[in-house]
Structure 1
Amino acid sequence: MKKITFAMVIITIALSFGMNLFSDPLLANTESHKTENRGDFLNILTVNKPQYDMVKKIVKDKNNVEYMLTNEKDISEFKYNEDVLNNISNMDLFIYSGTSFEPWSNSLIDELKKGDLGIINLSRGIRLLNYSQNNSNKENPYYFEGISEYKIALCNVKSAIQDRDPQNRDYYEENYNEAIKEFDNKIKIYNDKIKSLSDYKFITLNNDFDYLTKALNLNTIQLDNHEIADFIKLNNLDAKKVIIIVDGEAGTKLNLSGYNTVNLWKYYGDMSFDDLILYNIKELSKWAPLKENGTVNSTGKVA
């Protein structure tokens, strides 16, 4: 997958019942195609497009869904103002990740005019992972790459929308069950290949993929300050059975020539979270040993 540079794309939200267009033209993206009166819709705003995709799995075309930002850099550096606060405050539901992935979210929420606005923390009920850095604990915000974590977040979306539109509770429940079943069926195809990776040791360069590697029960070890060759020797690893996980976007300054590597994505703004998980699983499964005439092909990687 090629690295894509995303520009922040944020368009105007128009509210119904005679309200003026927002004065800030850079607030939200919308891909909803409204076929009935806006008053019949819930107005739902998410921070990013993958969250938008989650909501669309639940509501489909029944409600109006919009998103603010796409790529991670824009999300991290986002600065809100009074117009943004007013615009969000006029929505029915505002959905955000609930982690340091959106470092400004807590202060923004504190300043919102709550009124009838429902504020949904997607990480509710998820056991977030932490890691140690410079003698302090850091929160790992990338829970949406984990399988069970994604399902909990999707359930949070479903429950929030059901609470706001109880007359269509069964409709949303059906869509949720359909989305989970489709997700499970896609992953199931790769179960045997992922299990066959148990003989490999995966070297991680940081904690960004912890949710994914734990979900897949991969045998991991995190690189310290040593060079790769020294690290492999010190840990008595077989270089042929080592695979280094590299961030597909950030890459690495390390010289990995001659080593097995797999490029994964911890976040990809134009890819839904379920597709992100599936993409990473597919990339990992390419290292599943090929069986030839009842024996295992030690060359490992699938072409």
Structure 2
Amino acid sequence: METLIGLIGLAIVVVVYLRQWLLKKDIPQQQTTSYRGELYQVGEACIARRTNTEARTTVVVVHGFVENFMYFTEHYDDPAIELIKLTCADYHVPVSQPTYTTANWARTPDYRAGTIAYDAAILNLALEHLVTTRQVRVHGHSRGGAVALEAARQRPDLFESVEVILEAPVLPQGKPYAQVPAIARWLFPFFLVAWQQQPISDRNRAVWGSLENPRKRELIWGFPFNGRHCSTLVTNIKDMNRWMAETGTDSYRCVQRGAIVVPARDRVLDPRAMLSSARQAENLQIIEVEECSHFVILDQPEAIPPLQHG
């Protein structure tokens, strides 16, 4: 019996130490693209800007959990758009051979990296210092939707004339599609290793919806490699759950116009809870998208309100 107890104790110690190692180890980057534009390193995040003197509209995009800004690239490829793309804290910047521009406004936020509040502060720096047009849209997907709302809570003055598009978003009083027990969250570093071996499998196939779009498949294959460290992804998960539970729907008062896009077949977030929360947003249109997964911009891009150039 003592031997068995000793072996069990040793196994627990090994698992705990292995988890700590997995939390801290570098995750290899899998996806990059060529990029012509400015890159600003801000704290542990990055802001990319593609602009020109003919730009009439600015779009600022914020990716979701385990995503990167390539999620938005094709949808906003019009050269008449000044496109500003946020890479959230401690995520890989999906740019081959990046070169950064220094800026005196690029200060580190007074929040913990990996939280919605941290990335929201980065978004506000982009709105305050990089936007050069009068017509502005902020488009956040999933966790990026919460980042957009939190940014408006932090600096409502910056959002007075901004159009906000919240696509399949993490919302105040929202819920995940399936509740994950605490032990499963603790084991996430081990799950991530398994996910990296097979990003699309029979176990997670239902989450993705249709995979006929080759670009969608390509982006999903990169998901488990987009974070730089598993510890940041764990922080993301804990903070998203806390933010949804503790943030009141009065935060919608800080945005003046735009839309919340709710996919009916979302298997990441609960669409019923999403709708219930969205109905409290008096200034935002609700767009329900039938037969659509969590990834609206890839499945049914026509559901995203068209951009009105100034």
Q: What TM-score comes out, normalization by structure 1 length?
A: 0.29
Higher gyration radius (CA): 1
Q: What TM-score comes out, normalization by structure 2 length?
A: 0.28
